[in-house]
Structure 1
Amino acid sequence: MGGLPKHALIGYLHASFANGSGYLRMADVPADWDIINLAFGEPTSATSGDIQFKLCPATECPGVESEADFIAAIKAKRAAGKKVLLSIGGANGQVQLTTTAARDRFVSSVSAIIDRYGLDGVDIDFEGHSLSLNTGDTDFKNPTTPVIVNLISAVKSLKARYGAGFVLTMAPETFFVQLGYQYYGSGPWGGQDPRAGSYLPVIYALRDILTVLHVQDYNSGSIMGLDNQYHSMGGADFHIAMTDMLLAGFPVTGNTANMFPALREDQIAFGAPSSVSAGNGYVAPTAVQQAVTCLVKGTSCGSYTPRSGLNPNFRGLMTWSINWDKFYSWEFRNSHEPFLNALP
């Protein structure tokens, strides 16, 4: 992707709401952050498709800059080669594009935000009940569920509108991606969670225009890896096993005739909490770097052997969040930016 460093540092900025970490002005975001995801664009209602983004109100975020200063700071970031994206969704932003009208409203409202703030693209951070598969929708390569079909169509429309420079990232939870190795939708006989693996058709359909997929390796239950063992948060192993599934590809519901194909190395990063306050699954920088070293160089892998082999073009690391990293004296940035830059 033009303009991104080979190994990128990606973070979320609490732009529209206060958080215990404190507000951080766009102009004060350190230059180490290569992609800055503005959290969050949220819909007026779950099914409206009408995405809104507003800067955090001063009553909630003392020290918030004016909108004009915010826009100017984004322009300066982009001039310095950084990418600034609208992250859509988040924990509170349920987005269900159940109709073509909602799909079209999504495209127009997101375009209006991109144009107003001068952004590079979007991050799809759909969580909770935004995506699920209707009963009988069992083929990730040919989805039929409206919320899936309409989201794919909407993102393709945005890409067509903005062209080659449009940056598309996604931050699904493991439940919606890697869990698909065991479970997909409600299953052939019904009864399973219809959200299981439901990002797979979106990733697959948009794989040619996807810049970076950074799954949230946090707030996750145990997930089965390609070694058919369950992997849990708390060390390098979880990051290695979960990320390897995307670098190697995997059979959906274990069916080798139905492979979710590997993405390119440069399309893959993984997400880790910047601190203990940012999410469940925080591990110290040494463990994060052990995981990256394993995936890139094939060393320090512990008990898991990556099926994907060596991945020298692995894109990098995402964190929730830039604000929480600042609150904890920039541990994530100070540890990982030099580390990423030192990779071959």
Structure 2
Amino acid sequence: MRRTPILVVVAITVAAAIWLAPAASAATPTAVFTKTSDWGSGWEGKYTVTNGGTTTITGWTVVFDLPAGTTVGTYWDALMTSSGQRYTFTNRSWNGTVAPGASVSFGFLGSGSGSPVNCTLNGQPCSGGVTPTTAPPTTTAPPTTPPPTTPPPTSPPPNTGLPKHALIGYLHASFANGSGYLRMADVPAEWDIVNLAFGEPTSVTSGDIRFRLCPASECPGVETEAQFIAAIRAKQQQGKKVLISIGGQNGQVQLTTTAARDAFVSSVGAIIDRYGLNGLDIDFEGHSLSLNTGDTDFKNPTTPVIVNLISAIRTLKQRYGAGFVLTMAPETFFVQLGYQFYGSGPFGGQDPRAGSYLPVIYALRNDITVLHVQDYNSGPIMGLDNQYHTMGGADFHVAMTDMLLAGFPVAGNAANVFPALREDQVAFGTPAAVGAGNGYVAPAGVQQAVNCLVRGQSCGSYAPRSGTNPNFRGLMTWSINWDRYYGWEFKNSHEPFLNALP
């Protein structure tokens, strides 16, 4: 598209022995480690720092050892130093303050089979205080559970406040392109998510994202910023979500350095705060994402533009909490093409952008609200039936969407499977009208595809491997402006249709 003390003594006579319970300590901060995924040769880990005390923590340091043969690679939401097998993580500037009862987290990728041991939090055991029981401690070791060998499923759907089936559209808020400017106050109430197009960088590699309303010289009738913000509030009071979309056709964003990553977090956060937005849409196109030669495992990416984007989005998600809405609008080239080709390939020579969204989607699979791939401006793409599908008809929508609902091996490797997303995380994108983009499908064809995916009815030549998907999230379009220009065909056809779905 164009464009986050009481001493208790317990006497128990057992064979003339008396056991004295240790003094109970008050609740203290803890740092709990979890492996969020494990793929055999490596894993993704997370520490959650929780303030169980009564005073605010103003900074934290987590230190642990890893056994020989296990190392830390990429990390996020903390600063890291190491000496031999001992690793020290300290807070970033934005997550060092932890109020009583609150939690923050940081994560990292581990190489090898070991796990952290000898953990301390601010010099104290990561397990925090211990409250005694009235029985002596057992000497029997607790049972252990081996780490999983396959990634866990995505987490249960959060309460986003969205309807079960949503209508999602992009609003040309910063430019005009022939379809005419549309004021926020005039966006019809049928649109459940409105993505503001676009926030764009000051330069390709700066990470510094800027957004401004379309200038009056280009968009006669544009509202004032105060009116724009007031209209956003009115939409939100109706239960609608308004997001800033980053990128688009002209907004190339390459977070090649950690400085660019931090600038992205700061500048996008500033836009969200200024306009009081509900979250973020990632619409990276062109050459924003590509994979370095040798980066062949989507579960363990090493390319800076990929790693830094994942880290930046995680930081924003952590900053704004569970209600933060995160959507993505990749093109098929960056997602479904990964079934055949991933990056430059094991021998080089392929387009390094092929499938390059996959590590981002995989890493953020528990944070994504909706992934709506652009089923337009696309070449033929092979589906799970190993046949090429061409845009412009219902089968293309079904085949491309089924890949996300069923999962698929990446680059033909059956041992390296991109796991299915939850139904409620998946929608698909289609042009609102013939003038909005290549691959337009008339309403009857779009609804045929949805009926096939949701009900298993009206399927054409492609039978979904994912079965029926009653929680399929809905439809995205480029764009609200183009839909208005063509008499609201998209909205008027699909909003009542989505509402009638089971």
**Counterpart in the other structure of 1:39:** 197
Distance 1:118 1:66 in 2: 16
Question: Which of 108, 111, 115 is the matching residue for 2:273?
Answer: 115
Distance 1:303 1:97 in 2: 41
Taking every aligned residue pair, what percent have the same amino acid on both sides? 85
SS of aligned partner of 1:226: coil
Deviations for 1:224-250, whole angstroms, at most 9, x for unmatched residues?
A: 000000000111000000000000000
Which amino acid counterpart does residue 237 of structure 1 have in structure 2? D
**Counterpart in the other structure of 2:404:** 246
Which amino acid counterpart does residue 302 of structure 2 have in structure 1? T
Q: Identify the structure with the greater helix proportion.
A: 1
Question: Which of 241, 253, 260 is the matching residue for 1:83?
Answer: 241
Which amino acid counterpart does residue 112 of structure 1 have in structure 2? A
Shift of 1:2: 2.1
1:171 is aligned to 2:329 = yes
**Counterpart in the other structure of 2:427:** 269
1:94 is aligned to 2:237 = no
Deviations for 1:57-86, whole angstroms, at most 9, x for unmatched residues?
A: 000000000000000000111111000000
**Counterpart in the other structure of 1:4:** 162
**Counterpart in the other structure of 1:52:** 210
Deviations for 1:13-71, whole angstroms, at most 9, x for unmatched residues?
A: 00000110000000000000000000000000000000000000000000000000000
**Counterpart in the other structure of 2:23:** none
Deviations for 1:86-139, whole angstroms, at most 9, x for unmatched residues?
A: 000000000000000000000000000000001000000000000000000000
SS of aligned partner of 1:165: coil
Which amino acid counterpart does residue 42 of structure 1 have in structure 2? E
Deviations for 1:219-272, whole angstroms, at most 9, x for unmatched residues?
A: 000000000000001110000000000000000011110000000000000000
Distance 1:83 1:186 in 2: 38
Question: Which of 445, 464, 488 is the matching residue for 1:287?
Answer: 445
Question: Which of 191, 213, 223 is the matching residue for 2:381?
Answer: 223
Q: Is the 8 A contact 2:281 2:329 kept in 1?
A: yes
Distance 1:101 1:136 in 2: 24
SS of aligned partner of 2:213: coil
Which amino acid counterpart does residue 31 of structure 1 have in structure 2? A
Which amino acid counterpart does residue 49 of structure 1 have in structure 2? G
**Counterpart in the other structure of 1:341:** 499
Question: Which of 350, 358, 361 is the matching residue for 1:203?
Answer: 361
TM-score (norm. length: structure 2): 0.68
Distance 1:36 1:10 in 2: 6
**Counterpart in the other structure of 1:160:** 318
Q: Identify the structure with the greater strand proportion.
A: 2
Unmatched runs of 5 consecutive residues or more in structure 1: none
**Larger RCO: 1 or 2 (CA < 8 Å, sep 6+):** 1
**Counterpart in the other structure of 2:232:** 74
Q: Please report the RMSD computed on the Cα atoms of aligned residues, expressed in angstroms.
A: 0.4
- Higher Rg: 2
Q: Is the 8 A contact 2:380 2:390 kept in 1?
A: yes
Q: Is the 8 A contact 2:365 2:421 kept in 1?
A: yes
Large movers: runs of 4+ above 4 Å = none
